[in-house]
């Protein structure tokens, strides 16, 4: 009787929830069995196509389908989809299932929505109401299904319509179970990463404190993930979240003390994922925000974590194979992994605390790290080296880490490049004036045999260490010349520019006698390297550095070296040098002539006269100018006089140091910082990357950022005067856009481009040009106002978030924004822009747009504000970076189809061909075509010929009648890029079904990929 009662209760529960008995949906079971019994792929495809055709007929017939049949068919579609077959129908039936009252039907509907629909599908709008209804349901399982769907899909549609509802559900309903709360936290994390402009710290801070006081480990893990997502986004100042620190510390203490349910232990380690998240959260907060009580508690926690028995961290015996390892070995390894994860996060927090951390605990951590870098597990060695490198930034720890120096040097010979890179980081941090020579000599020995991937970082760090620690700069010059012998290809221009700066001297640098001695030594080293090479080809970088030093300081060479020998030493490399080398050699010859006019005039004058007919326009211009100046010897002597000393700020702002990633001890980086660093491999930022430079102001900015030392004949221009770079001088900053982009950047001379407005060495036009191909970034920067812009597009609609931020110390007010009407786009402000901003405050302005027809010049965004009470308003006329390519969606097509349709669209006005010099190598074309221009790269494209296709969308969705204004329009777009390697030329062929789209798309693509032919 008891068994019958239990069975009846189970059936009753199934009926209430809507579960079906295993015997139900026999059609689905037969379909799965048929698929499994297919002897080959062809039979499987036939069976699937037959079933899909049957389901399509069922869904299109007028006769109503029962919920049971609809559910069964949707499950069949899901099974076919999971087998890899395309399913492009049944979406509306899945939406209808979501509104069913039966749990089994609702499950099928929500699962189909999660799998079959992308996060930008318009059908998602139809399911929003069902999700809202289910989230408020009294049945937890219904609410959980709805929340699962939101978390799985995310996307702008859900972020716009559901973030507020889920927030209110968590903020206002304290009766929710922990089960629903943790799902709500996961949903909010997913949506916050998609759109982080709507969260209010004042409301969420007390709620997060309350969540961290809960004892449910699952809820604590979800809340910790949400908190980490908020901190990593970096949208709000850290100070606004300081109230959660005590609650996080108490929660962590409870876990470390063992207050954790047994089913949340991972191989006897209490909730390791939660522990690591809590430790990471604490790393984001400055030590000054920790009260003495919290700091004492955290130090106690760290001591407890580090003082656990070493047996818990034992590794499997060396030499054991996977086959020989038993279950106990696997359990020991898994437990070791969990404990090491907690240990390393604890050490990261200790490093963040710095001198506020207990000294005994710091010493213990140094000893533990010493054992880690000797571990047989390469992952442990890597993490040990990485953590020790950041610990070494604390000068007080050097005495505890110095004893591992030889062991670290051994790691530079590891086969794994990632371990060698971390060993290099650690040696860089440990290097001091006492041990620099051993470290630098060892690194120089490694340089010639190192991987190309590591050589650039090695060169940068060797150069920095030699300059920073050498007893005199003569050693530094010797080290750079040794690097030019060992790995000349990896010695970038920034390195030899820095040598020129150091040798030329700084305003408050060496005494005059020592400076002259250094310059003489550098010129002698250059003369020695350029003469001893004999007939061998000298690397271009060595030629540039040697020629510059001899031209500038050749008069300090020993008297027994005649002027003609100096000239021959430099000029013999002219014919083999590149354009920049030739320019520097020509300038060096002119300076040698100025110092020795009688001796060198017969040799130098014919050279300059010949260069008047050179193919290089820069060389022509410079030679003509020099010949003209030679008519006035006093003026020539003034122009070619020795370069003056560099400003002291140049010495303090070493551009090589700014190329290194993450030079701080903290590992608490925002997602934006991590994404920026990920653009470059290893520990060095690419030249021109944001993180590689720091903004400078004043007259020395042009030379402080590592610009070429060749400055208009060596000093003719005043310090800091701008102008076109001379021959041989690389132009810093991003490449200039073509005319079409320049016209769209801002409003002529009264625009922000004519004012400050640059961000980190970039002007507003450069920032605007980048935003035209990037989803988010900086639009404008000034001491009083920053504008950051985030873009989301879906077919013909777009949503912009312009974040106003006051970085200054004074308030700004009278902020006004105007969106002028344009015929090709409907613009609407979704909220009011901020009227004023206090110091450090920020506020978003949301703009929604709909593209109505093709266009070239984007819509305007006019900003006006006052930076002080009663001051004149500052006007900032911007162009929105919503160019035509933002409204293009990829269109998949095979090569044969592409060629067929491409030929049919030949001829004006649908066809446009642009030819010019390639701005970027063809290996980068796929990234531009797919990520910047939102097109599909046709399979079969190669570096010499790339093809892409897409669809331009305009008009309002749902308006299909072409006679009505704003009707939905789609224009097929096709692009072919061809590359001539011999001449470095690119031909861009753009073809669309609309002449105006063709012209606009062609100009945008040419802006980024080609320099127009003259």
Tens digit of each residue's pLDDT (9 = 90 or more) over 165-210: 899 888 888 888 999 999 999 999 999 988 777 788 888 999 999 9
Give the CA distances from residue 665 to residues 388, 661, 662, in Å, rounded to whole numbers and listed in that order.
10, 11, 8
Higher pLDDT, 895 or 665: 895
How distant is the alpha carbon of residue 511 from its chain centre? 44
Checking if the pLDDT of 741 tops 70, the result is: no
Answer whether 183's CB lies under 8 Å from 147's CB: yes
pLDDT at 750: 34
Q: DSSP character for 535? A: T
Instruction: Please say if the pLDDT value at position 957 is more than 80.
Output: no
Is the predicted pLDDT of residue 808 greater than 80, yes or no? Answer: yes
- Count H helices and E strands in the chain, helices first: 41, 17
What are the two backbone dihedrals, phi and then psi, of residue 423, each rounded to the nearest 5 degrees?
A: -65, -40
Nearest Cα neighbor of 74 from 114, 131, 112 is 112
Q: Provide mean pLDDT across the span 27-47.
A: 92
Q: How far is CA 323 from the centre of its chain?
A: 42
408 vs 709: which has the higher pLDDT: 408
Pairing mode of beta strands 945-954, 265-266: unpaired
Closest by alpha carbon to 990, among 971, 979, 977?
Answer: 977
Q: How is residue 60 written in tokens?
A: 């299109």
Q: Which two tokens stand for residue 770?
A: 């980048």
**Long-range pairs of 285-294 with CB within 8 A, sequence gap ≥ 24:** 285/238, 285/241, 285/242, 285/245, 286/238, 287/352, 287/353, 287/354, 287/356, 289/238, 289/239, 289/242, 289/245, 290/245, 290/356, 291/246, 293/246, 294/245, 294/246, 294/249
Angle in degrees, 0-180, between the axes of helices 436-447 and 452-469, rounded to the nearest 10: 150
CB atoms inside a 10 Å sphere around CB 927: 13
Three-state DSSP state, 657: helix
Q: What distance, in Å, lies between the first and last C-alpha atoms of the chain?
A: 96
pLDDT bin (cut points 50, 70, 90) of residue 707 is very low
Check residues 930 and 704 and name the one with the higher pLDDT. Answer: 930
**Model pLDDT, residue 1013:** 57
In this prediction, residue 622 has a pLDDT band, given cuts at 50, 70 and 90, of confident
pTM: 0.66
Rounded CA-CA distance 11/7 in Å is 6
Query: Which pLDDT score, from 0 to 100, does residue 40 have?
Result: 93
Average pLDDT over residues 102-119: 89
Secondary-structure breakdown of the chain: helix, strand, coil percentages, each rounded to the nearest 5: 55, 10, 30
Mean pLDDT throughout 784-797?
89
Most confident region among 291-305, 572-586, 974-988 by mean pLDDT: 291-305
Q: Are 540 and 581 in contact (CB under 8 A)?
A: yes
Give the mean model confidence (pLDDT) for residues 836-851.
Answer: 88
For residue 328, CA distances in Å to 323, 341, 375, 376 come to 13, 20, 20, 19
Q: Does the pLDDT of residue 23 top 60, yes or no?
A: no
Residue 982 CB neighbour total at 10 angstroms: 5
Give the length of the chain. 1014
Cβ distance 404 to 429 under 8 Å?
Answer: no
Contact between 645 and 602 (Cβ < 8 Å) = no
* Contacts of 655 by beta carbon, 8 Å cutoff, 6+ apart: 494, 497, 498, 693, 704, 705, 706
Percent of the chain with pLDDT over 90: 33
Q: Is 86 exposed, middle or buried (0-12, 13-18, 19+ CB in 10 A)?
A: exposed
Mean pLDDT of 90-111: 91
Give Cα separations from 774 to 85, 86, 932 (angstroms): 33, 30, 7
Rg of the chain over CA atoms, in angstroms?
A: 34
Classify the C-alpha dihedral 618-624-630-635 as positive or negative: negative
Q: Is the pLDDT of residue 840 over 70?
A: yes
Instruction: Give residue for tokens 């508690």.
Output: 297
pLDDT top residue among 314 and 266: 266
What is the pLDDT, as a whole number, of residue 718? 27
Using an 8 Å Cβ cutoff, are 764 and 780 in contact?
A: yes
- For residue 470, what pLDDT is reported? 86
Residues 6+ apart with CB under 8 A from 955: 796, 850, 851, 852, 853, 966, 967, 968, 969
Residue 847's H or E segment, with its range, is strand 842-851
- Contact indicator for 787, 776 with CB cutoff of 8 Å: no
Q: Which of 808, 767, 809, 773 is nearest to 788 (CA)?
A: 767
For the cut 60, the answer to whether the pLDDT of residue 536 exceeds it is yes
H/E stretch holding 992: strand 985-992
Q: Which pLDDT does position 748 carry in this prediction?
A: 36
DSSP 688: T
Q: CA-to-CA distance for 338 and 540, rounded, in angstroms?
A: 52
Q: What percent of the chain has pLDDT over 70?
A: 85
Q: Which residues contact 916 (CB under 8 A, 6 or more apart)?
A: 985, 986, 1006, 1010, 1011, 1012, 1013
Question: Do the Cβ atoms of 146 and 131 come closer than 8 Å?
Answer: yes
Q: CA-CA distance, 391 to 388, in Å (whole number)?
A: 5
Q: pLDDT digit string (tens) for 414-427?
A: 999 999 999 998 99
Residue 472 CA to residue 353 CA, distance in Å, equals 36
Predicted confidence (pLDDT) per residue in 656-693, tens digit: 888 887 666 677 777 777 766 665 566 676 554 444 33
Looking up tokens 């019958």, which residue turns up? 4
Contacts of 24 (CB under 8 A, 6+ apart): 68
| Contact in structure between 71 and 105 (CB atoms under 8 Å) | yes
How far is CA 343 from each of CA 251, 350, 665, 666, rounded to the nearest angstrom? 17, 10, 17, 16
Query: Does residue 925 carry a pLDDT above 50?
Result: yes
- DSSP E strands in 180-339: the ranges are 265-266, 269-270
pLDDT of residue 721: 31
Residue 106 pLDDT greater than 80, yes or no:
yes
How many C-beta atoms lie closer than 10 Å to residue 484's C-beta?
23
How many CB atoms lie under 10 A from the CB of residue 475? 17
CA distance 853 to 60: 34
Q: The dihedral of CA 820, 825, 826, 827: what is its sign?
A: negative
Residue, of 75 and 758, whose pLDDT is higher: 75
The most confident of the ranges 100-114, 610-624, 897-911 is 100-114
Q: Where in 856-984 does DSSP place strands (E)?
A: 860-866, 874-879, 888-890, 911-918, 936-937, 945-954, 969-980
For residues 671 and 658, what is the distance between their CA atoms, to the nearest angstrom? 20
> Which strands sit side by side in the sheet containing 860-866, from one edge to the other?
813-818, 860-866, 874-879
Helices of type H across 487-539: 493-504, 512-531
Q: What are phi and psi of 818, to 5 degrees?
A: -130, 135
| Predicted local distance difference test score (pLDDT) of residue 105 | 92
pLDDT at residue 302, rounded to an integer: 94
| Structure-block tokens of residue 242 | 């300081």
The mean pLDDT value for 821-845 works out to 87
- Window from 628-637, 651-660, 739-748 with minimum mean pLDDT: 739-748
Strands 813-818 and 860-866: antiparallel
In which band, very low, low, confident or very high, does the pLDDT at 535 lie, cut at 50, 70 and 90?
A: low
Q: In whole angstroms, give the CA distance from residue 813 to residue 834.
A: 9
Round the average pLDDT of the chain to a whole number and report it.
Answer: 82
Rounded to an integer, the average pLDDT of 327-337 is 85
Closest CA to 233 of 193, 191, 198: 193
| Range from 209-213, 369-373, 746-750, 995-999 carrying the lowest mean pLDDT | 746-750
């Amino acid at each position: 009787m008891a068994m019958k009662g239990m069975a009846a209760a189970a059936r009753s529960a199934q009926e209430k929830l809507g579960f079906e008995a295993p015997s139900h949906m026999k059609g689905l079971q037969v379909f799965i069995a048929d698929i499994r019994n297919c002897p080959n792929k062809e039979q499987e495809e036939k069976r699937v196509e037959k079933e899909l055709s049957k389901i399509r007929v069922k869904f299109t017939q007028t006769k109503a389908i029962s919920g049971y049949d609809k559910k069964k068919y949707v499950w069949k579609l899901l099974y076919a989809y999971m087998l890899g077959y395309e399913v492009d129908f049944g979406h509306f039936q899945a939406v209808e299932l979501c509104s069913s009252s039966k749990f089994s039907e609702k499950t099928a509907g929500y699962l189909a929505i999660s799998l079959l629909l992308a996060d930008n599908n318009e059908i998602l709008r139809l399911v929003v109401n069902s999700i809202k209804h289910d989230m408020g349901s009294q049945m937890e399982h219904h609410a959980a299904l709805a929340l699962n769907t939101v978390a799985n899909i995310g996307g702008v549609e859900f972020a716009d319509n559901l973030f507020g509802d889920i927030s209110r559900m968590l903020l206002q309903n304290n009766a929710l179970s922990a089960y629903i709360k943790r799902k709500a936290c996961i949903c909010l994390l997913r949506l916050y990463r998609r759109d982080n402009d709507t969260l209010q710290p004042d409301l969420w801070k007390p709620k997060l404190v309350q969540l961290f006081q809960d004892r449910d480990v699952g809820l604590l893990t979800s809340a910790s993930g949400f908190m980490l997502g908020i901190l990593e986004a970096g949208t709000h100042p850290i100070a606004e979240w300081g109230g959660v620190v005590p609650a996080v510390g108490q929660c962590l203490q409870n876990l470390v003390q063992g207050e954790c349910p047994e089913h949340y232990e991972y191989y006897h380690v209490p909730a390791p994922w939660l522990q690591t998240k809590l430790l990471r959260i604490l790393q984001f907060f400055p030590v000054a925000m920790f009260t003495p009580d919290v700091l004492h508690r955290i130090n106690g926690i760290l001591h407890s974590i580090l003082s656990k028995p070493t047996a818990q961290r034992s590794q499997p015996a060396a030499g054991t194979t996977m086959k020989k390892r038993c279950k106990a070995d696997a359990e020991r390894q898994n437990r070791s992994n969990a404990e090491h994860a907690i240990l390393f996060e604890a050490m990261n927090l200790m490093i963040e605390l710095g001198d506020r951390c207990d000294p005994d605990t710091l010493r213990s951590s140094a000893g533990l790290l010493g054992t880690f870098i000797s571990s047989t597990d390469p992952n442990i060695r890597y993490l040990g080296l990485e953590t020790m490198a950041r610990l070494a930034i604390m000068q007080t720890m050097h005495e505890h880490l110095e004893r591992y120096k030889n062991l670290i040097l051994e790691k530079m010979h590891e086969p794994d490049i990632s371990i060698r890179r971390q060993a290099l980081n650690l040696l860089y941090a440990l290097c001091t004036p006492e041990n620099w020579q051993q470290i630098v000599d060892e690194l120089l020995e490694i340089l010639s045999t190192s991987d190309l991937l590591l050589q650039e970082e090695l060169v940068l760090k060797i150069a920095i260490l030699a300059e920073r620690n050498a007893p005199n700069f003569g050693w530094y010059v010797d080290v750079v010349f040794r690097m030019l012998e060992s790995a000349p290809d990896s010695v970038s221009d920034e390195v030899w520019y820095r040598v020129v700066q150091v040798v030329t001297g700084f305003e408050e640098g060496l005494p005059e006698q020592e400076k002259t001695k250094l310059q003489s030594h550098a010129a002698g080293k250059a003369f020695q390297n350029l003469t001893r090479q004999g007939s061998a080809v000298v690397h271009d970088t060595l030629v540039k550095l040697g020629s510059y030093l001899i031209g500038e300081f050749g008069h300090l060479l020993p008297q027994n070296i005649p002027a003609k020998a100096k000239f021959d030493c430099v000029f013999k490399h002219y014919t083999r040098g590149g354009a920049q080398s030739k320019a520097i050699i020509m300038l060096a010859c002119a300076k040698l002539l100025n110092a020795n006019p009688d001796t060198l005039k017969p040799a130098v004058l014919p050279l300059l006269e010949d260069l008047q007919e050179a193919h290089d326009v820069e060389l022509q211009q410079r030679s003509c100018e020099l010949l003209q100046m030679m008519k006035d010897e006093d003026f020539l002597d003034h122009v070619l006089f020795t370069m003056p000393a560099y400003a002291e700020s140049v010495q303090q702002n070493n551009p090589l140091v700014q190329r290194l990633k993450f030079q701080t001890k903290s590992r608490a980086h925002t997602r934006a910082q991590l994404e920026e660093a990920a653009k470059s491999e290893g520990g060095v930022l690419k030249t021109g990357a944001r993180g590689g430079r720091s903004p400078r102001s004043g007259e020395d900015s042009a030379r402080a950022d590592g610009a070429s030392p060749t400055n208009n004949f060596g000093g003719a221009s005043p310090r800091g005067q701008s102008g076109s770079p001379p021959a041989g001088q690389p132009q810093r900053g991003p490449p200039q856009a073509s005319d079409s982009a320049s016209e769209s950047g801002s409003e002529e001379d009264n625009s922000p481009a004519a004012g400050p407005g640059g961000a980190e060495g970039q002007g507003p036009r450069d920032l605007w040009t980048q935003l035209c191909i990037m989803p988010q970034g900086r639009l404008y920067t000034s001491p009083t106002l920053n504008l950051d812009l985030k873009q989301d597009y879906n077919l013909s609609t777009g949503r912009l978030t312009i974040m106003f931020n006051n970085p200054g110390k004074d308030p700004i007010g009278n902020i006004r924004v105007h969106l002028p009407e344009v015929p090709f786009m409907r613009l609407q402000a979704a909220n009011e822009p901020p009227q004023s901003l206090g110091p450090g405050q920020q506020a978003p302005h949301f703009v929604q747009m709909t593209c109505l027809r093709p266009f070239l010049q984007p819509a305007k965004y006019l900003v006006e504000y006052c930076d002080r009470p009663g001051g004149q308003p500052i006007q900032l006329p911007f162009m929105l970076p919503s160019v035509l390519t933002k409204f293009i969606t990829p269109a998949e097509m095979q090569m044969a189809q592409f060629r067929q349709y491409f030929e049919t669209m030949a001829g004006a006005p649908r066809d446009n061909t642009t030819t010019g010099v390639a701005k970027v190598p063809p290996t980068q074309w796929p990234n531009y075509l797919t990520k910047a221009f939102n097109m599909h790269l046709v399979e079969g494209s190669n570096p010499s010929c790339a093809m892409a296709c897409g669809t331009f969308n305009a008009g309002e969705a749902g308006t299909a009648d072409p006679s009505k204004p704003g009707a939905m329009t789609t224009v097929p777009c096709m692009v072919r890029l061809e590359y001539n390697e011999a001449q470095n030329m690119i031909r861009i062929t753009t073809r669309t079904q609309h002449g105006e789209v063709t012209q606009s798309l062609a100009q945008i693509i040419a802006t980024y990929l080609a320099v127009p032919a003259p």
